[in-house]
Structure 1
Amino acid sequence: MDPNDFIRHLPDDILHHIISLLPFKSAVRTSFLSTHWKHLWKEALLDSVHDVITIEAAITAITSFVDDFDTRHRPRNKWGLIFELGHGRGSLVASISSNSSLKLDFSAGKQEFPMPFDLFLKLNLAPPNRLSRRYMFDWLLEENHPSQREQPPSNTMSVKSLHLISVSHLSNMAVSSLVPKLPFLRSLTIAKCNGLQSLQIKEAKGLRKLVVLDCPHLQSLSFEGSSLKSFRYRGNLVSFRFRGKCKTTVLFGATVGSSWKTSWLISDKVL
Structure 2
Amino acid sequence: MTDEGRDGDDDATATADERSFSHNLGKTKESGDSSEGVIVDSISSMPDEILQHILSLIPTRSAIRTSVLSKRWRHVWTGTPSLYFHKDDRPDANSINETLARYKAPKMMSFRILLNKVDDLVHMDGWIKFAFSRNVEKLMLYLERDGYNIPDFFYVNSSVKQLSINSLYSFKMIPECSVSWTSLKKLSLSLCNLSDESIANILSGCPILGSLILDFCKGVKVLDLSRSPRLRTLAVYNDSCTPGPTKIVAPHIHCLRLRTSPVLCDLVDVLSLTEARLDISYKCQRDKLNADLLHIMVIEILDKCCRNVEKFTFGESYLKMLSLAELRGVLFPKLKAKAITLETPISHYVIPGIVRLLQNSPELKMLTVTHTRNDGFIPGIYIDRNLRSHGLISYQCWSSEARDLEHFDHLRANASFIELVLKTSKTLKKLAIYLGTYYKANGVMKQLLEMVPMLTRNNNVSIVIG
* Structure with greater helix percent: 2
Whose radius of gyration is greater, 1 or 2?
A: 2
Q: More relative contact order in 1 or in 2 (CA 8 Å, sep 6+)?
A: 1
**Structure with the largest fraction of strand:** 1
